Amino acid sequence: MKKKVLVLGCNFAGLTAARFIHKETKGAVDITVIDRKNYVNFIPNIPIEVFANRNPEDTMEFPFQHHLKSDGTEFILGNVEALDIGNKRVIYTPSERAGAAQENISYDFLVISLGCKLTYDKIEGFSEFGHTFTDTYQGNKTRRYLHKEYKGGPIAVGSDRFIQGQSPKLPDIPQALAACEGPPVEITFSIGDWLTRHKKGGPENVTVFTPAEVIADDAGKRILDQLLPIVSNMGFGYVNNTVGIKRLHKDGIEFLNGKSLEAELKIILPNWEPHDFMKGLPISDDQGFVITDWYMQNPDYPEIFSCGDAASVTVPKLGSLGHSEAEVVAKMIAKEVLSDYHHEIKPVQPQVLCFGDMGHGKGFYMHTNEWWGGDTSVLQMGYMPYMLKMGFKVSYELLGGNVPSWGVPVSIFAGDHIAI
């Protein structure tokens, strides 16, 4: 009988993992995927749609079921509610209609790629006064405000404090005070361009803030030494060491360091927090992120893997890290089930790989592992990073996450070496 692989969550990490597992095991396992929705939310490109006045609910939700079906993978539309680690079972409720009875499903291998909760509900004043881009609903709300109601006042863009998970069982990883600061940097550049093009001001309207000593710390010193002067020479404001957000109100933001910022439009990235049912499990760190090594395997329950934002080692919470992790998970499962699988498996080599929009068809590209002690550090700005960002979206949608093994290395080569 074929071994059963259960993948929880089907956005970037889950879809990529499910498709790579099918490919790597050559169909030798039965794969089931559970997600509460049946489309990929293509989060990294939501801001581009908003600035172009397109509703991301129409353009950034890609159905994935036909891709799973083509691999013979089963899909369950359901809400995962609990993990019974000891009995190798997952408890879920089908989510198509209200009132469904709870069910459970067993597994031989479990891949947890459920992402996180984005805790806007813990930021006082967010629902009334805050805006963001982290899903298509919020993106569309921000689009309506920007294009219909924005009066030309100050704009603040930044992150609340991230609480990184801790456990003595984790590999040594650097500590971050914000979950992912590529997005605030990207939004700052592109909103500055949007203001200029719409004759509503320019970069001088915009202040980017961070809870940390320095924004996008994980980009490493060499990139930041180039990036921060560019941000200030373009006219953007910059505020650091906010510690976190105390509350939003109509006219601005109050921070935990006692300072405040005036803002008509407040664009917020919150704390990334694990789902409640992940807290206190024997596989979880003190916050509820899944403990793994860099082979993405739990040390106490080797049948359990995790990839993407749900994994504790995924810091910053970047889709590109989740992608490399999904590749390693697929190889690890193939090694377990195929007696003739002799490929060498390398652990994930953590790095920041980020393609950001800057407006006007231009973008920035960061490729660095300096934060983890490596010596790669590349920053490029121009048309090529934007083309690579758009190219990745098109290929991801077309191939349903099944990006060929040369796809990412080719993008890195182009990003590192072609400056236009």
Binding site for ligand FAD (CB under 6 A): 9-14, 34-37, 43-44, 46-47, 79-80, 113-115, 133-134, 180, 182-183, 275, 308-310, 317-320, 322, 354-355
Q: CA of 136: how far to CAs of 11, 47, 48, 287, in Å? A: 13, 10, 12, 27
- Single-letter residue type at 129: F
Q: Please, which residue, 33 or 334, has the CB nearer to ligand FAD?
A: 33
DSSP 74-136: EEEEEEEEEEETTTTEEEEEE-SSTTPPPEEEE-SEEEE----EE-GGGSBTHHHHEE--SSH
Cα 310–Cα 130–Cα 55 angle in degrees, nearest 5: 75
DSSP string, 14-47: HHHHHHHHHHHTTT-EEEEEEESSSEEE-GGGHH
Q: How far apart are CB 278 and ligand FAD at their closest, in Å?
A: 9
Q: Which lies closer to ligand FAD via its Cβ, residue 211 or residue 319?
A: 319
Nearer Cβ to ligand FAD, position 130 or 337?
130
Residue nearer to ligand FAD on the CB measure, 183 or 211:
183
Question: Residue 300 class from Cβ within 10 Å (0-12 exposed, 13-18 middle, 19+ buried)?
Answer: exposed
Nearest-angstrom CA–CA distance, 118 and 123: 11
Least separation, in Å, of the C-beta of 353 and ligand FAD?
7
Compute the least distance from the CB of residue 254 to ligand FAD, in Å.
23
Cα 341 from Cα 394, distance rounded (Å):
32
Q: Which CB sits closer to ligand FAD, 34 or 177?
A: 34
* Least gap, CB of 113 to ligand FAD (angstroms): 5
Nearest Cα neighbor of 69 from 95, 42, 33 is 33
> Residue 109 region, left (φ>0) first, then alpha (ψ -120 to 50), else beta?
beta
Helix%, strand%, coil% for the chain, nearest 5:
35, 25, 40
- Residue 133 or 189: the one with the smaller Cβ distance to ligand FAD is 133
337 versus 380: smaller Cβ distance to ligand FAD: 380
User: Which CB sits closer to ligand FAD, 223 or 310?
Assistant: 310
- Whole-number minimum distance, CB 334 to ligand FAD, in Å? 21
- Least CB distance to ligand FAD at residue 282 (A): 19
CA–chain centroid gap for 175, Å, is 17
Nearer to ligand FAD, 47 or 202 (CB): 47
Angle at 366 between CA 364 and CA 370, to 5 degrees: 155
Least separation in angstroms between CB 90 and ligand FAD: 10
As a whole number of angstroms, the distance between CA 237 and CA 234 comes to: 9
State in angstroms the smallest separation of the CB of 79 from ligand FAD.
Answer: 4
How many beta carbons lie within 10 A of that of residue 199, not counting itself?
Answer: 8
Q: How far is the CB of 269 from ligand FAD (least distance, A)?
A: 6
What is the DSSP code string of 244-295? SEEEEETTEEEETTS-EEE-SEEEEE--EE--GGGTT-TTB-SSSPBP--TT
| Secondary structure (3-state) at 405 | coil
> Which of 381, 351, 356, 387 is CA-nearest to residue 367?
351
Q: Would you say 14 or 201 has its CB closer to ligand FAD?
A: 14
Least distance in angstroms from the C-beta of 339 to ligand FAD: 31
Task: Determine how many CB atoms are found less than 10 A away from the CB of residue 97.
Answer: 6
Minimum CB–partner distance for residue 102 and ligand FAD (Å): 13
Contact 18, 73 (CB under 8 A): yes
Q: Compare residues 154 and 182 and give the one whose CB is closer to ligand FAD.
A: 182
